[in-house]
Structures are given as C-alpha cells and as structure tokens.
Amino acid sequence: MTIAYFDCFSGISGDMTLGALVDCGADRALLDAVVESLHLGDEVTVEVRHETRGHAGGTRVVVEVNDRVERTVPALRRAVEDADMPAPVKSPALAAINLLARAESQVHGVPEDKAHLHELGGADTLVDVVGAFWLLHALDVTQVYASPLPAPRGLKGGMPLPAPASLRVLEGTGAILQPSDETRELVTPTGAAILAAAARFDRPAMSLRRVGYGIGTHASPGNALAVWVGDNVAAHTGVTMLETNIDDMAPNLIAALCEDLMAAGALDVVVVPALMKKGRPGHLLSVMSPPELVGSLSDQLLRRSTTLGIRMSTVDRLIAARKIIEIVTPLGSAHVKVKELDGRAVDVAPEYEDCRRIARETGQDLRDVMRLVAEAARRELGLE
C-alpha cells in the first residue's frame, strides 16, 4: 500500500503541498488539468519552479489569481461537483471545502452557506485543494499520515495565531500542536483542511521510495514541507499492558467497563476466567494501551472497577498493514478489511455488521453472506 507522510516541520499550506507532491514525482501537467477541469483558465495561472530556503531546496508552486472572484460555499462545492475528475479526488476535495466552510461559520457565527470565505473563496483555494488530492491520487497514495503541527504565537491581521479558522478545521482530528517560537502563520486553513480531510496524525513504519520538498512563500530558511512517499510495512510499536485480577465484580459491570475502556482509546481489552485465591472464580482483565493514554486508562480502570491495583508492562507488537475496501455483491455492498504484508494483500475479513445487515435484509444465513463477501473480495484482489 502506497502511503504518504507529511513532515510539517515548518507548517503546511496549499501551495507547499502542491510543490512537495510535484517534487515527489507527480506530473506537473496535472495542475493544468485541475485548472481546466474547474474551468478557471481565465482566473489563474500556475507556475512551477525550483527554489531554495536556506539549505532546503525543492519545488515552488505559485498559483497566481489574475481576476479574483469570491465564491460562496455553495459555489465552491458546485465547482468541484461539476468538474471532470476522478471520484477519489472529488470526494476528499469536497470534504476539505466542507471543513473550511464549517470553520468559517463557527469563527464568524453565521450559517455555512452565508459565510464569506474572503481569500479562501478564491480560485487559488480550489486549485490548492483539488490539486493536492489529484496529485496524491496520481502517486497512488491510499493513506496519508501527518506529523505534529507547529503552533506559533502572535497576531496576524489582528487575529491570534494559530489562525482561528485553522484551529477550527483541526479540532477533533487528533492533530498534535507543538509550541513554536515563530511569530508568523505556519499552518494555513487550506493546509489544515487538506490534512483534516485525509490524514492520520501519526508516524507510520514505511519503506521509503521518494521524498519531495514543497517550498513556502516566506523567505525564512527551511520554510518547506517534506512529503515522504513509500510503502506501508508491518510496524514494531510499543504499547503498555494494564492488567488486574477481579473476583468481586458483577459480570455485567465488567462488560460495561470493557466497552468504556475501548471507547476511551484502549487498543484492545480482554477478559479471561481465572481461579483466584481461596478457590474463588474471578477474571483477569487486560487492557492494551497506547503510551499516551496509560494515565487516563489506568485511572478509569481504578475508578470504575473494584480492583485495588494494576500491573503495568511495556511490550512490543508487530502490526500488519491493513485497509478497508467496499465490495459489491449480488446481495448488496459490504466493507472488507484487507490484511497486507510487504504492500500486498494476503487475507480478507468481511465486516460483521455489514454482513449482518445484508443477512437481515435478504433472509440469507449470516455464514453464507460472509462467505460470499469474502470470495468476492478475494476475486477482486486476485487472491484466488
């Protein structure tokens, strides 16, 4: 599976994203296709050139607006919906525009369709957003990851930094903001929307094929965005196991506790019957926690169970790559989890809830539905 990691050491903007992806090997002519598809030929010109910022050299993409036309949110959506472009480009582009619209609506306290996007409503925003996803599609990237984002201090145009619109776009996405001593905008709303629509804020294990650098407008040394493109590989990651023995808690309360721990971010929760001291039947409760959630999950385990203590141990785990695809069968469509090793599919697992729904709607046996979906997925992936 081809993946891309956005190393936002100096922030991210729409034009930096375009530059980094072209620098990774995406065809520069696709930017002209974006302009043509969106019918923006009279409004913008796109220039691609090599530039440096200090010791950092890369590709600079300049989207010059010749005749600025401010578009409303419905007009931006319509421009993308009516454009002739691949569906895997159109869907995330619309998601990014919707995120920008929601952010501006929240910042200014007006309905989305009435929000004035100002500079975000121009043709350059359309080119940045659609171009980013079209270039990713051309590079066959199926999953985007992103680093922590720098959060500067100061004011821009009387508004605090980071820009309120950028923060609104990023809220709830899992983005990590790291304090920065810079006093200029580092993460633009457009750059934030591209990541919010497509990225997981995590650093993957990957086999590196290409690195591209997108040069930013500001002349500061190192003002660039790095994008790494490569293959997802099985990853060694460290986790913490939280374990405790319980012999005085009702089974229904243990079940509820397991659900609550999973909802709070546990990677896995397992309950195993155990014979405890004095011959009492009990349970061994094991919680797999990511390092950053050890404190909150252990606190929840202590507060919501009868245990008086927790054992903690750090362990490594090896993770196979996986992705979700949708399979269409004569009985209906269902999602399938695909297990991958060395970038190749090796096994499939139909999503239970989708198969259960199909079984209810068609009256078919659940086992037959799961077998049918699995066989269709294996055929599509060439695993037969």
For 333-372, the pLDDT digits (tens) are 899 999 887 667 899 999 999 999 999 999 999 999 999 9
Residue 118, pLDDT > 60, answer no
Q: How far apart are CA 118 and CA 132, in angstroms?
A: 21
In the DSSP assignment, the letter for residue 9 is B
Look up the CATH superfamily of 235-318.
Transcriptional regulatory protein pf0864 domain like (3.30.70.1380)
Nearest to 99, CA basis, from 195, 169, 166: 169
Query: Which band of pLDDT confidence, cut at 50, 70 and 90, is reported for residue 121?
Result: low
* pLDDT the model gives residue 3: 93
* pLDDT per position as a tens digit, 296-328: 999 999 999 999 999 999 998 877 777 888 888
Residue 93, pLDDT > 80, answer yes
* pLDDT per position as a tens digit, 276-301: 888 889 999 999 998 889 999 999 99
| The architecture CATH gives domain 321-380 | Roll (3.10)
* pLDDT the model gives residue 320: 78
For the CA atoms of 377, 379, 381, 384, the dihedral, rounded to the nearest 10 degrees, stands at: 120
Give start-end residues of each CATH 3.10.20.300 domain in the chain.
321-380
Alpha helices, H only, 215-266: 251-263
Helices 123-138, 189-198: inter-axial angle, 10-degree rounding: 40
Token pair belonging to 229:
């493109």
User: Is the separation of the CB atoms in 241 and 315 below 8 Å?
Assistant: yes
For the CA atoms of 300, 302, 307, 310, the dihedral, rounded to the nearest 10 degrees, stands at: 100
* pLDDT per position as a tens digit, 127-177: 999 999 999 999 999 999 999 999 998 887 778 888 899 999 999 888 999
Nearest to 369, CA basis, from 382, 354, 383, 348: 354
Query: Mean pLDDT score of the chain, rounded to an integer?
Result: 90
* pLDDT the model gives residue 120: 62
* pLDDT per position as a tens digit, 224-278: 999 999 987 766 678 999 999 999 999 999 999 999 999 999 999 999 999 988 8
Tell me the one-letter amino acid at 43.
E
* pLDDT per position as a tens digit, 180-193: 988 899 999 999 99
Helices 123-138, 14-23: inter-axial angle, 10-degree rounding: 30
Can you tell me the mean pLDDT for 9-27? 97
User: Is the separation of the CB atoms in 275 and 282 below 8 Å?
Assistant: yes
Is the link from the previous residue into 164 a cis peptide, with omega within 30 of 0? no
* pLDDT the model gives residue 236: 64
* pLDDT the model gives residue 119: 59
Nearest to 254, CA basis, from 277, 276, 267, 273: 273
Give start-end residues of each CATH 3.30.70.1380 domain in the chain.
235-318
Alpha helices, H only, the chain: 14-23, 29-37, 73-81, 87-108, 123-138, 164-170, 189-198, 251-263, 294-303, 352-362, 366-380
3-state secondary structure 78-93: HHHHCCCCCHHHHHHH
Tell me the pairing of strands 2-7 and 143-146.
Answer: parallel
Residue 115, pLDDT > 70, answer no
* pLDDT the model gives residue 114: 65
* pLDDT the model gives residue 264: 92
Nearest to 13, CA basis, from 124, 88, 134, 168: 124
Q: How far apart are CA 308 and CA 347, in angstroms?
A: 42
Nearest to 131, CA basis, from 12, 41, 36: 36
* pLDDT the model gives residue 153: 87
- The answer to whether the pTM exceeds 0.85 is no
* pLDDT the model gives residue 234: 65
* pLDDT per position as a tens digit, 206-225: 889 999 999 999 999 999 99
